[in-house]
C-alpha cells in the first residue's frame, strides 16, 4: 500500500504538503495540489482512518450500549441511533452488555482511550458513581433509562404515567386483581413503572400483593414461566401489565394452550407496541412508545455536542406514550 512518504517523493514535495492536500487545507498552489491528487489517484492511496483520528482527536464513531441486540426494542433503538448518526457521517459501535457491569465499564475505557467520541447508554448496569468519572473523557448520554441526579441528558418517556395509564384502563374494564411484570428491580425506569402501577391501584383502593409481582421478565420464555407461576397461585390475578410485548405474547400463548380465554379469564397489556402485538392471537393491547424517535434524538444531541465541543448538561426529555387497545383486554 502506498504511503505519504512515497507520494511526497514522487511529487518532490514535503509530507506536510501532502497532508495539507489530504485534509483540504490552504497554502498549497493549484498546480501542486493537482499533481498530488493525480499521484494519489494513480497509487490508489487511502488515508488511514486511525491516523486521521489521531491528528484530529476525533474518531467520528459513537458507542451504543444495550443489554442484547436480539430484543426487538433494542434492535429498533439501535436502528434509530445508527440512522441518525449516518446523517452526520458518524459510525455506531454497538456494545452488548448482557446486563454485565464489568462489560459496561470496558465500554467506558473506549472513551478514556479516545477510541470513540461519545457514548449512548441504552441501559445503566453500574451505579452512576462508577460512570460519572468518565465524563471528563467525553460526552455520555442516557437513553431509555432514568437516573434522578446524573448530570447528563436523559432521553426517555414517562414510565410512571405509562404504567398508571395501562393499569387504570384495566381497572375501568372491571379488574380488581392486577399483576405486574418487571425485568430488573434495581432499574430506576422499572421503579417508575412500579410506582405508576401502585398509584393506580391505591387510587381505587385495590389490593397490591407481593405474589402478583413477577420479576426477570424479558422475553417470550419468561412469559411461559410467569403464566406457570400464576397458574399455581391460590388467588390469581385476572389481569397483567407485563411491561414487555414479548412477555405478554408468551403469557397469552401459554394461557390459551392451557384452556384460558383471553381476555375473559386473563387480560394482558404489553409495552413497546412491537409487530408481535398484531400477529399474536389475540392481538395484544400495549403501550406505544416512539422508539425510533428516541434513538434519533439521543444520537442527534450527542453528536451535536461532539461537533460543537459543548459540554452536556442534565436535561430530561420525556417522549409521549399512548395506549393501543386491541383484543387482549
Query: How high is the pLDDT of residue 50?
Result: 47
What CATH fold (topology level) applies to the domain 58-157+291-320? Rossmann fold (3.40.50)
Query: How high is the pLDDT of residue 103?
Result: 94
Mean pLDDT of 77-85: 97
> Which residues have CB under 8 Å from 202's CB, separation 6+?
208
3-state helix, strand, coil split of the chain in percent (to 5) is 50, 15, 35
> Which residues have CB under 8 Å from 210's CB, separation 6+?
none
Query: How high is the pLDDT of residue 53?
Result: 52
Please give the mean pLDDT across all residues of the chain. 91
- Structure confidence by residue, pLDDT tens digits, 96-117: 999 899 999 999 999 988 889 9
Select the highest-mean-pLDDT range: 4-8, 53-57, 87-91: 87-91
Class of domain 4-47: mainly alpha
> Which residues have CB under 8 Å from 291's CB, separation 6+?
73, 76, 77, 80, 272
CA-based R_g, the chain, Å: 26
Vertex 224: Cα angle to 218 and 230 (nearest 5)? 105
> Which residues have CB under 8 Å from 286's CB, separation 6+?
245, 248, 269, 270, 271, 272, 273, 274, 277, 323, 324, 326
Q: How far apart are CA 148 and CA 154, in angstroms?
A: 10
Same fold across 4-47 and 159-288 = no
> Which residues have CB under 8 Å from 17's CB, separation 6+?
8, 11, 28, 32, 36
Peptide bond into 263 cis (omega under 30): yes
Instruction: Identify which has the larger pLDDT, 215 or 4.
Output: 215
Percent of the chain clearing pLDDT 70 (strictly above): 95
- Structure confidence by residue, pLDDT tens digits, 262-276: 999 999 999 999 999
Query: How high is the pLDDT of residue 49?
Result: 53
Query: How high is the pLDDT of residue 54?
Result: 47
- Structure confidence by residue, pLDDT tens digits, 88-99: 999 999 999 998
The pTM (predicted TM-score) of the whole model is 0.78
**Measuring CA to CA, how many Å separate 106 from each of 63, 95, 152, 208?**
12, 10, 20, 40
Q: Is pLDDT of 55 > 60?
A: no
- Structure confidence by residue, pLDDT tens digits, 30-45: 888 889 888 888 887 7
What letters, b where the CB count within 10 A reaches 16 and e where it falls short, cover 304-329?
ebbeeeeebeeeeeeeebebbebebb
Q: How far apart are CA 1 and CA 3, in angstroms?
A: 7
Query: How high is the pLDDT of residue 262?
Result: 97
Q: If we measure between CA atoms, which residue out of 87, 29, 85 comes closest to residue 62? A: 85
**239 pairs with which residues across the strands?**
178, 267
Q: Is pLDDT of 48 > 70?
A: no
Q: How far apart are CA 77 and CA 65, in angstroms?
A: 11
* Domain chopping of the chain, boundaries: 4-47, 58-157+291-320, 159-288
What are the cell numbers at 114? Answer: 479516545
Q: How far apart are CA 2 and CA 94, in angstroms?
A: 32
Class of domain 159-288: alpha beta
Mean pLDDT of 13-42: 84
- Structure confidence by residue, pLDDT tens digits, 293-307: 999 999 999 999 999
Amino acid at each position: 500500500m502506498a504511503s505519504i512518504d512515497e507520494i511526497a517523493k514522487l511529487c518532490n514535495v514535503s509530507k506536510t504538503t501532502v497532508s495539507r492536500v489530504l485534509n483540504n487545507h490552504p497554502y498549497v498552489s493549484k498546480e501542486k495540489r493537482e499533481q498530488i491528487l493525480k499521484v494519489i489517484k494513480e497509487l490508489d492511496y487511502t488515508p488511514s482512518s486511525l491516523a486521521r483520528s489521531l491528528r484530529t482527536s476525533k474518531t467520528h464513531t459513537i458507542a451504543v450500549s444495550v443489554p442484547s441486540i436480539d430484543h426487538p426494542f433494542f434492535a429498533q433503538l439501535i436502528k434509530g441511533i445508527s440512522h441518525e448518526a449516518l446523517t452526520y457521517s458518524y459510525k455506531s459501535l454497538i456494545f452488548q452488555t448482557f446486563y454485565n457491569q464489568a462489560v459496561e465499564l470496558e465500554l467506558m475505557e473506549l472513551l478514556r482511550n479516545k477510541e470513540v467520541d461519545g457514548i449512548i447508554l441504552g441501559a445503566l448496569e453500574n451505579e452512576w458513581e462508577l460512570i460519572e468519572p468518565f465524563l471528563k473523557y467525553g460526552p455520555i448520554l442516557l437513553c431509555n433509562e432514568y437516573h434522578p441526579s446524573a448530570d447528563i441528558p436523559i432521553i426517555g418517556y414517562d414510565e410512571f404515567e405509562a404504567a398508571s395509564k395501562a393499569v387504570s384502563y384495566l381497572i375501568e374494564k372491571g379488574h380488581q386483581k392486577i399483576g405486574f411484570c418487571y425485568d430488573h428491580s434495581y432499574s430506576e425506569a422499572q421503579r417508575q413503572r412500579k410506582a405508576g402501577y401502585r398509584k393506580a391501584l391505591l387510587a381505587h383502593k385495590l389490593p397490591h400483593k407481593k405474589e402478583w409481582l413477577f420479576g426477570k421478565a424479558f422475553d417470550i420464555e419468561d412469559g411461559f414461566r410467569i403464566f406457570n407461576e400464576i397458574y399455581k397461585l391460590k388467588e390469581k390475578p385476572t389481569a397483567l401489565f407485563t411491561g414487555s410485548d414479548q412477555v405478554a405474547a408468551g403469557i397469552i400463548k401459554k394461557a390459551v394452550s392451557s384452556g384460558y380465554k383471553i381476555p375473559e379469564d386473563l387480560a394482558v397489556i404489553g409495552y413497546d407496541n412491537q409487530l408481535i402485538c398484531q400477529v399474536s392471537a389475540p392481538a395484544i393491547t400495549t403501550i406505544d412508545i416512539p422508539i425510533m424517535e428516541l434513538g434519533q434524538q439521543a444520537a442527534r444531541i450527542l453528536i451535536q455536542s461532539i461537533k460543537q465541543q459543548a459540554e452536556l448538561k442534565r436535561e430530561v426529555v420525556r417522549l409521549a406514550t399512548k395506549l393501543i387497545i386491541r383484543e387482549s383486554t
